[in-house]
Structure 1
Amino acid sequence: MARNNPSPSKAINRSCFTSRVLFGATLAASLYASVACSNTLKKDNSVPLANATLHGDEVIDTPIGEIKLTDTYFDEEASQRLYDEMDFQRASQSYIWAHPMVSVVTQQKRLEEAYGLTSEHDIVVLKSLKEKRGIVTGNLTVPYMFGYVDLKDGPVVFDYPAGATASGFVDVWQRTVTDIGQTGPEKAQGGTFVIVGPEDDISEYEKPDTYTFQSVSNFLVIALRILDPDPAYMKKFKSEFKMGRLGSDLKPFNYIEDKNIEWSGTAPRGLAYWQRLSEIINHEPIRVIDKAWTAMLEPLGIEKGKPFNPTERQRKILLEGAAMGELMARNIQITPRYTQPWWAGTSWYKSYDFNVPQETETKVQLDERTTWFYEAVYSSKGMVNPPVGAGQVYMTTKRDSKGNLLRADKTYKLTVPADVPVKQFWSVTLYSENTRRPYDNGGTELKDVTLGSRSEQLQYNDDGSVDLYIGAKAPDGMESNYLKTVGDDGWFVYFRLYAPLEPFFDKSFELPDFQLVD
């Protein structure tokens, strides 16, 4: 059969498929095109797909038009439509499966381009709003530092300083190989870590007084958050944090900072998404758990050991699959169906709602991790299972008290109760739904996009609560408590609790929903 190159006479039927989900088209337009396409092929004597016998002589009404069986077989044109639909479905789901990898490697590549990281001893320090605005749902309260190591070149050794940090070594699936700092095995007391690659024998490197871990990927992120606000501690940390290849001398890092350069860590759209995925698959070993996915990618032109050079047919399907995959990921993110709000009667969800390994005994937590990694980056034990008085909790909402999605042209009020149960601090940060990065409302200061317990300008109510306003216009006299939204850029927030205390866990502390003001 001519599966990949149907004759010109068949093109009209193939075009029904390829016009369904044009990249950038709205979902409504996509569905309209699909219905219109199906109607052009429909005949009076067809049977619904659910009632089909799939046997003998039969005309079956399907979402891709009618499939005519003659003696249980179908013709080349129907064969091509079925292959097109199968590959479209595979592309859509593969987008969702691959997102953690594509997102984290995109951040690496974009930081290298913008800040000039050229060595495994380079670490970028992000402090200003412009610098942090590149991080997908970046925290705007404490500085971030990122470095990257390729374990293909051999195991690495780290001397990690003592002190108040929330850090980790992270693999290509954005899982912590190990937490470091307050929720690490050294419990913020400092220590020596050895990280070995996926094809190394970890038993060869395990030694007393050393924390030794194995990464499932060659790609390794050094992800650092410094919680101690004292500049003297930051200086001490930089001088004491060292790394080297096993058997070589350990050296301090080169810190690239105060550049104030705009960049974007949001995963790319279109063919660039698949190009990045192809590069990752060629760089990393394939886990057993992922082999079914790599099998589905092969007909799409993404195969280990081969360059990414899709045919015209594959390009169209990949473009459509990426667009539909992102719509599906956004739907899971906005309206998760596998969980319930943290506080009954509200729309507040605990953002990180899955295990660090991203799997249980019976399944991969595909939808759960999609919610997080579509709108955020990185994971750690301190984020998913924070102990009382350590780690972090991230709460999010996309709806107001009436259950309506938050709008950029309206203004809302959030009343934060007095005595938020945290040992360190709490904050509310505004993000764009389009980019999932800190909201670009024209502001130039961190306080233009985030407010919290470390914000000196906040006006508090007599009972110790504080009213925060987010939206198109600040109420008179409340500019100090206001975050601005613009145009039609949809938004959401993270309410962060750093070192949450027991009232959060027993739910005696509760956030109310946003109230529509205007």
Structure 2
Amino acid sequence: MKNSILLNITLLLLSTQFYAQQNAVPLKDATLKGDEVIKSSIGDIELIDSYFDTDASNRLYDEMDYQRASQAWIWGMPMVSIVTQKKGLAEKYGQASEHDIVVLKSLKEKRGIVTGNLTTPYMFGYVDLKKSPVVFEYPAGATASGLVDIWQRTVTDIGQTGPEKAQGGTFIIVGPEDDVEKYKKSGVYTYQSVSNFLVIALRIIDPSPEYYEKFKSEFKMGHIGETLETFNYIENKDVEWSGTAPRGIAFWETLSEIINHEPVRKIDKPWTAMLLPLGIEKGKPFNPTDKQKEILLKGGAMGELMARNIQINPRYTKPWWEGTSWYKSYDFSVPQETDTRLELDERTTWFYEAVYSSKGMVNPPVGAGQVYMTSKRDSKGDLLRADKTYVLHVPADVPIKQFWSVTLYSENTRRPYDNGGTELKDVTLGSRSEQLQYNKDGSVDIYVGAKAPKGKESNYLKTVGNDGWFVYFRLYAPLEPFFDKSFKLPDWEMID
């Protein structure tokens, strides 16, 4: 008799549960009132007298934290990326002092930079403004440099697109928690950074060895009150390294370090609020529980997938040239915000696949600055593949005052493509490439893919395996035909 009663109770519970499931309403139709079973992506949520049980509560919190982690990954990625670069150079190049500048010239050296330019040398240094403001004496000459904050925003351009217009000058950079007015002087360019972390990002456009040595001897720096000194240049190491933001828990460890070192801007307070239940809080060490780690790992992976989707298929803009798949890569403002919003998706596109920003990149004047064009689809609209071969027909008379280049990058790392080559010409070609074959009309055909067309090896960049690729077509000092769009690049054509 007792067993029969238990069986009947069990059957009643199962039938009630089945009935509830069969009568569950989609989330969009839920009333959230009284007794209701709601279908959701995290399973059914059963309301009894408008309440739900502990199990449903826990699942809702887990989902909320997962969504927050995904979006926080997108938000924090520009900071983590630039700090990762600093850590990589410190580890592999021994950069330890604020007066150490790493010079990257060879393919191995530049292959660590996220979408690094392979035509001109790069120089990177890092300063902490927490101690006090910093003074720079910057030399005159053809350079495209900048001082950059932790959001990879230019504090000021220096060189051709800087306020001194390549004539040289004195700069004072003040930290975010100091009073910039105390340091302003006549004839000195004084700026305030929003972060203590400051990048010295240098590019030498003048190719002459004489100018390079002159630049090194004249560029000086010191904190306020200190003697200005030249830099120690770490050169010719030819060491492999990585500046790609880490995946996994290392991403969140770095983000926690940054939040603890930097003041929180007003615009970023909602994001630090979202990180709080995930174990990342200003003034506290990062020591996540197993549950928090699990959610951060899952959320970080989804955040990167979302960022990659924005990068491959931007929905906030249109191709630069109508009827093509070519986009102007840098498609947002220097402050990364407007009067009404943070330009979140726009900056995600750039900083997922690149590093740094400057006025010379965003709004280059005619005959100065740089433009970066990218394409990830062929003439049929299909995504570019590593196992096929394509041709890009570059018209004659590319409208530039300085040079143009086509550089190959890996979609996975966003760094210069590793195809087994050891020389810069294995990954980049352009108007400064001596080996290029030109067509009779002055145009050039650039080939990228799994196999070089016979006789076109000098114009070919190799892809390997299933390592997806994209290019940057760079125009240095673009001229009016680029801006009025009378110059136009065609799409890639698959030839094999």
Q: Normalising by the residue count of structure 2, what TM-score does the alignment of the two structures yield?
A: 0.96
Report the AA paired with residue 197 of structure 1: G
Tell me whether 1:176 sits opposite 2:150 in the alignment. Answer: no
Tell me whether 1:144 sits opposite 2:122 in the alignment. Answer: yes
Q: Which position in structure 1 is the counterpart of 2:487?
A: 509
Report the Cα offset of residue 247 of structure 1. Answer: 1.3
Q: Which position in structure 1 is the counterpart of 2:171?
A: 193
Tell me whether 1:482 sits opposite 2:482 in the alignment. Answer: no
Q: Is the 8 A contact 1:382 1:391 kept in 2?
A: yes
Tell me whether 1:401 sits opposite 2:383 in the alignment. Answer: no
**Which of 60, 66, 85 matches 2:63?**
85
Aligned equivalents of 1:42, 1:419: Cα separation in 2: 71
Report the Cα offset of residue 42 of structure 1. Answer: 9.0
Aligned equivalents of 1:80, 1:251: Cα separation in 2: 58
Q: Is the 8 A contact 2:325 2:381 kept in 1?
A: yes
Aligned equivalents of 1:147, 1:41: Cα separation in 2: 66
Cα gap change, 1:314 to 1:399, in 2 (>3 Å) = same
**Which of 218, 223, 227 matches 1:240?**
218
Q: Which position in structure 1 is the counterpart of 2:7?
A: none
Q: Which position in structure 2 is the counterpart of 1:361?
A: 339
Aligned equivalents of 1:437, 1:140: Cα separation in 2: 11
Aligned equivalents of 2:20, 2:473: Cα separation in 1: 51
- Please report the RMSD computed on the Cα atoms of aligned residues, expressed in angstroms: 1.0
Q: Is the 8 A contact 2:20 2:37 kept in 1?
A: no
Tell me whether 1:413 sits opposite 2:358 in the alignment. Answer: no
Secondary structure of the corresponding residue to residue 95 of structure 1: helix
Aligned equivalents of 1:157, 1:198: Cα separation in 2: 15
Secondary structure of the corresponding residue to residue 280 of structure 1: helix
Alignment of structure 1 residues 438-517 onto 2, 5 Å: 438-517=416-495
Q: Percent identity?
A: 80
Q: Which position in structure 2 is the counterpart of 1:350?
A: 328
Q: Which position in structure 1 is the counterpart of 2:95?
A: 117
Q: Is the 8 A contact 1:42 1:61 kept in 2?
A: no
Q: Is the 8 A contact 1:414 1:514 kept in 2?
A: yes
Alignment of structure 1 residues 51-450 onto 2, 5 Å: 51-450=29-428
Aligned equivalents of 1:281, 1:55: Cα separation in 2: 41
Q: Which position in structure 1 is the counterpart of 2:4?
A: none
Q: Is the 8 A contact 2:393 2:490 kept in 1?
A: yes
Q: Is the 8 A contact 2:321 2:488 kept in 1?
A: yes
Aligned equivalents of 1:487, 1:214: Cα separation in 2: 47
Report the Cα offset of residue 311 of structure 1. Answer: 0.3
Report the AA paired with residue 119 of structure 1: S
Radius of gyration: which is bigger? 2
Report the Cα offset of residue 41 of structure 1. Answer: 13
Report the AA paired with residue 114 of structure 2: V
Q: Normalising by the residue count of structure 1, what TM-score does the alignment of the two structures yield?
A: 0.92
Secondary structure of the corresponding residue to residue 44 of structure 2: strand
Q: Is the 8 A contact 1:127 1:143 kept in 2?
A: yes
Cα gap change, 1:284 to 1:487, in 2 (>3 Å) = same
Q: Is the 8 A contact 2:171 2:190 kept in 1?
A: yes
Report the Cα offset of residue 441 of structure 1. Answer: 0.1
Would you identify which runs of 4 or more consecutive aligned residues in structure 1 move more than 4 Å?
none
- Unaligned regions of 5+ residues in structure 2, if any? 1-17
1:261-293: CA deviation from partner (whole Å, max 9, x where unpaired): 000000000100000000000000000100000
Report the AA paired with residue 391 of structure 2: K
Aligned equivalents of 1:456, 1:41: Cα separation in 2: 76
Aligned equivalents of 1:380, 1:238: Cα separation in 2: 22
Aligned equivalents of 2:246, 2:73: Cα separation in 1: 11
